[in-house]
Amino acid sequence: MVKSILIVDDDPKIVELIEIYLSNEGYILFKAYDGEQALASMEINKVDLVILDVMMPKVDGLEVCKQIRQVNTLPILMLSAKAEDMDKIIGIMTGADDYMIKPFNPLELAVRVKALLRRVAMDQRQMSNELGRCVRIGSLEINKDTHTVMVEGQQIKVTSLEFDILYLLSSHRGRVFSSEEIFEGVWKEDGYGASKTVMVHISNLREKLEKATGGEKIITTVWGVGYKIEA
C-alpha cells in the first residue's frame, strides 16, 4: 500500500526540496506551510507520517505535535534549525519519533522516513501474528493486539515508541535492559549513544503511567545498568 506523508514547513524551498526527494520514492505527499494548515490537512487526509518543522507562524511544530499525539500515534519526524540538546529533548517529549537539524541531507531524510515507516509496518505485522498477547501489571493492562494501555477501563494515551518500550519491559519482567538494548529492540537500529533518547522516552512514559495509576511505580531504574519492571 502506498504511504502518504504530510510535509510541514514555513519555508517553501524546504518543502519543495523534501517533495522532490520523497516523490521519487512513490509516496503520496501533502504540504502545509504553518501549523494551522497542518492540523487542517490531518483532518481531511489519511496521513501515515508527518515531517514537521519546529519554528512556524500561527501554531508552532511542538504544539502541532502535541495535538496530533492526542489522537494519533503515527510517526513524526521533526526538523529544527537549532542544535541544542534541550530542543531535541523537548521535541522527543512532545511525542516526536525522530529529529533532524537544518540544514539536513535530503537523502538521509528519505532514509529516515523509510526506516520509520518500516518500523510501523513491522510492529503491525508482529501484532497480527501475536494473538492474545496481553500483559497485566497490577491495575495496568498492556494489550499487544490492540496496541493499548488500560487502567481500570481507562486508556492511557501513549506513543507507538512508548508502547513498544513498555511492552518490551513488561513481557520480560525482572530482566534489566540497558538503554542500548531498549533502543535496538524498539527502534531496530544500533543503540550506541542512544541513552539520552531512551531516558527521555522512559521519563515521559513514567509520567503518564504514574498519573494514571495514582503514583504507582511501574518502571524501575537500575542505576548504571538500565531499566526493568519488577517480576
Residues 73, 139: one domain? Answer: no
Beta bridge partner(s), residue 6: 30, 50
Q: Which of 92, 126, 160 is the last residue of a domain?
A: 126
Residues 150, 122: one domain? Answer: no
Beta bridge partner(s), residue 51: 7, 77
Residues 122, 142: one domain? Answer: no
- Say if pTM beats, i.e. exceeds, 0.85: no
Q: Nine-digit cell at 138?
A: 497490577
Cα dihedral 165/171/176/177 (nearest 10): -40
The CATH number linked to 77 is 3.40.50.2300
If one counts the domains in the chain, the total is: 2
The pLDDT of residue 138: 80
Residues 43, 83: one domain? Answer: yes
**129-150 burial, b for 16+ CB within 10 Å, e for fewer?**
eeeeeebebeebbbbbeebebb
Mean pLDDT split into 10-residue runs, the chain, 231 residues: 93 96 94 95 93 91 90 89 65 79 93 89 60 74 88 89 92 89 89 87 93 89 90 67
